[in-house]
Amino acid sequence: MAAAEHVLAWLTVPASRRVTVIDGLVRRCASKEGNALGACCRLGLATDPRVRMLAESLIAWQWPDGGWNCDKNATRRSSFHETLPALWGLGEYARATGDPAAREATARAAELLLDHRLFRSRRRGQVINRAWLMPRYPPYWHYDILQALLVLSRLGKARDPRAADALEELERRRRPDGRWGVGGQWWKPPGSRLTPETVDWGRSGANRMVTLNALRVLHAAGSSAAGTACARHRPRIPRTPQ
């Protein structure tokens, strides 16, 4: 709760509320408000006026295509990096409060990702960014298909046919032992200037959090791969002599 208070104090001071508007579109790193909104709702703070302010701000800043972007040079296309945390936050807020505006904004943002099958160009179908195919943990504000599938599964959209490509890609990356590894990491060792961590989240081999989230997603999608992977790692119980 102390951490939540620290973040809310930082995001709600007047200096943090300034936004840049270019061509009628708000250029804002919505991942900050999105991640804070999602975390605060999980902590039971959805009715806090400051949390409501975060939700209302995200709704007001949403672009016509359903996403968000902080790039001052962008035309009218949203950033998947900025959209995914905002989608998570508004989804959690809508679930906690039933707010219809948040629910509508969540649906629009989810459609943006699903219309691209989570990682493909809408026009030609090619992969937009191959880095998005490699799962990492923690995601921070970065986009990848595992985190996108996890957020969409919490919205009840894991079985949407447009998520099938991403689910197949996720299953394809499963290791022979039934688990999943990381495709890199966004965090840096203590003392680094950007994204320093005191926790070692794993840089190679099977990753517990990536595996857990992959199983969550596949279970929500009704995939048999989830049960197979769980069975491979179910502890063996020695037989008791009769």
Tell me the whole-structure pTM to 2 decimals: 0.89
Q: Do 28 and 95 fall into the same domain? A: yes
What pLDDT does residue 237 have? 37
Which of 115, 146, 162 terminates a domain? The answer is: 115
Mapped onto helix, strand or coil, the DSSP state of residue 229 is helix
What pLDDT does residue 224 have? 55
Q: Do 15 and 109 fall into the same domain? A: yes
Residues of the chain with pLDDT under 50: 233-242
What pLDDT does residue 71 have? 93
Does some domain include residue 219? yes
With the C-alpha atoms ordered 115, 167, 142, 5, is the resulting torsion angle positive or negative?
Answer: positive
Q: Do 140 and 63 fall into the same domain? A: no
- Full domain range(s) for residue 139: 129-232
Domain count, the chain: 2
What pLDDT does residue 171 have? 96
Q: Do 87 and 140 fall into the same domain? A: no
Does some domain include residue 62? yes
What pLDDT does residue 227 have? 52
Q: Do 160 and 65 fall into the same domain? A: no
Which of 115, 144, 160 terminates a domain? The answer is: 115
Q: Could you give the CA distance from residue 58 to residue 92 in angstroms, rounded to a whole number?
A: 13
What pLDDT does residue 221 have? 96
Q: Would you say 118 and 165 are in contact if contact means Cβ atoms under 8 Å apart?
A: yes
Does some domain include residue 240? no
Q: Do 19 and 106 fall into the same domain? A: yes
Other CB atoms within 10 Å distance of the CB of residue 200? 9
What pLDDT does residue 72 have? 92
157-189 pLDDT, tens digit per residue, is: 999 999 999 999 999 999 999 999 999 999 998
Does some domain include residue 237? no
Q: Do 220 and 133 fall into the same domain? A: yes
Q: Do 101 and 29 fall into the same domain? A: yes
What pLDDT does residue 239 have? 43
Q: Could you give the CA distance from residue 236 to residue 242 in angstroms, rounded to a whole number?
A: 18
Does some domain include residue 121? no
Q: Do 184 and 228 fall into the same domain? A: yes
Does some domain include residue 57? yes
Q: Would you say 86 and 30 are in contact if contact means Cβ atoms under 8 Å apart?
A: yes
What pLDDT does residue 226 have? 57
Joined together, the tokens standing for residue 130 give: 């191959």
What pLDDT does residue 235 have? 40
Q: Do 88 and 53 fall into the same domain? A: yes
What pLDDT does residue 199 have? 87
